[in-house]
């Protein structure tokens, strides 16, 4: 899959990749953007990337059977939306840089998640709850997010937004994009201001994995029939457990441990990775 902003994926590039991987059964999922082929063995990703003259290409390695997944579990912050919502909220308390520094360390696995979220929320004690609406106005969706959710919904998948962020935001994101389910932490207030506390239990990496397992069981499918996507250390367990786990513009600790990564492209690459042609996409963004 090639980035829209870096020129088209060319037939010669695809031919080089196929020759290296002994590929067959070439299919263009979108002319100039996404192609797939079958290989008799798992090719070396680094070697494939090296022979491509187009350097803004994401390569996915998947099994030919069971590619279309029955369950999608997506992280929210820096995955479905472009920013960290807690960092944005902290900006209204004049604490954005301090909170963002803690967030960055937590998402790279340098801080324990429970400790990090309590510390960050504690810094927001006394912030008027009107700031929640102000922060919401700053939220922007990641390119391809709407199309990803709409297409998987249309083809019968269960779509869930599971975030270590807050339900005040996941509820609205889920409603606008069409996620069937959303789960997140609860930001406590006294009716006028934030109390600086998080509702218990805290939704962490274990809860994200549990949600993936629960939703698969509810659909009566194995984890191989699931797709998860995220960027931070608290996403790692669900990314590694899913049949297709995708690190989306991920933190280094995540990118180092997850096979399939989006580095150059957008979230529609998760549809191409499942074998959906662009002609089948729903809710296409303009």
Candidates 13, 44, 77, 189; catalytic one: 77
Instruction: Determine contact, residues 5/52, Cβ cutoff 8 Å.
Output: no
pLDDT at 152 over 90: yes
Spell out the domain ranges in the chain.
1-59, 66-82+141-286
pLDDT at 286 over 70: no
The residue-averaged pLDDT of 250-254 equals: 94
Parallel/antiparallel/unpaired status of strands 71-74 and 226-230:
parallel
pLDDT at 218 over 70: yes
Q: What pLDDT, on a 0 to 100 scale, did the predictor assign at position 124?
A: 96
- The DSSP-derived string for 29-93 is EETTTEEEEE-SSPPPHHHHHHH-S--SB------STT-S-SEEEE--BTTTBSS-HHHHHHHTT
Q: What pLDDT, on a 0 to 100 scale, did the predictor assign at position 171?
A: 98
Q: What is the pLDDT of residues 118-142, one digit of tens each?
A: 999 999 999 999 999 999 999 999 9
The residue-averaged pLDDT of 145-152 equals: 98
Distance of alpha carbon 213 from its chain centroid, rounded?
Answer: 17
Is residue 13 part of the annotated active site? The answer reads: no
CATH T-level topology, domain 66-82+141-286: Rossmann fold (3.40.50)
pLDDT at 4 over 90: no
Q: What is the pLDDT of residues 169-210, one digit of tens each?
A: 999 999 999 999 999 999 999 999 999 999 999 999 999 999
Q: What pLDDT, on a 0 to 100 scale, did the predictor assign at position 2?
A: 81
Candidates 58, 75, 87, 235; catalytic one: 75
Backbone angles phi, psi at 143, to 5 degrees: -55, 130
pLDDT at 285 over 90: no
Q: What pLDDT, on a 0 to 100 scale, did the predictor assign at position 284?
A: 87
Q: What is the pLDDT of residues 21-77, one digit of tens each?
A: 999 999 999 999 999 999 999 999 899 989 999 889 999 999 989 999 999 999 999
Is residue 75 part of the annotated active site? The answer reads: yes
Gap between the terminal Cα atoms of the chain: 19
């Amino acid at each position: 899959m090639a980035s829209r902003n870096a020129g088209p994926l060319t037939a010669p590039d695809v031919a080089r990749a196929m020759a290296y991987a002994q590929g067959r059964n070439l299919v263009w999922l979108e002319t100039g953007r996404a192609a797939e082929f079958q290989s008799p063995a798992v090719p070396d990703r680094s070697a494939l990337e090296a022979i491509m003259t187009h350097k803004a290409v994401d390569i996915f390695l998947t099994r030919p059977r069971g590619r279309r997944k029955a369950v999608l579990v997506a992280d929210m912050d820096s995955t479905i939306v472009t920013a960290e919502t807690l960092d944005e909220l902290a900006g209204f308390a004049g604490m954005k840089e301090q909170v963002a520094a803690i967030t960055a360390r937590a998402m790279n696995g340098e801080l324990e998640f429970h400790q990090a979220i309590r510390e960050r929320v504690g810094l927001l004690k006394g912030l008027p709850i009107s700031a929640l609406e102000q922060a919401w106005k700053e939220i922007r969706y990641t390119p391809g997010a709407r199309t990803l959710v709409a297409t998987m919904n249309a083809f019968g998948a269960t779509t869930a937004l599971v975030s270590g962020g807050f339900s005040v935001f996941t509820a609205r994101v889920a409603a606008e994009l069409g996620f069937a389910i959303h789960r997140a932490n609860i930001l406590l207030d006294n009716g006028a201001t934030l109390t600086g506390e998080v509702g218990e239990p805290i939704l962490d990496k274990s809860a994200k994995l549990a949600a993936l397992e629960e939703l698969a069981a509810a659909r009566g499918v194995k984890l191989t029939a699931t797709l998860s996507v995220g960027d931070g250390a608290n996403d790692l367990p669900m990314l590694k457990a899913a049949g297709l786990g995708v690190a989306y513009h991920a933190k280094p600790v995540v990118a180092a441990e997850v096979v399939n990564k989006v580095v150059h492209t957008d979230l529609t690459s998760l549809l191409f990775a499942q074998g959906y042609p662009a002609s089948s996409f729903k809710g296409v963004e303009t």
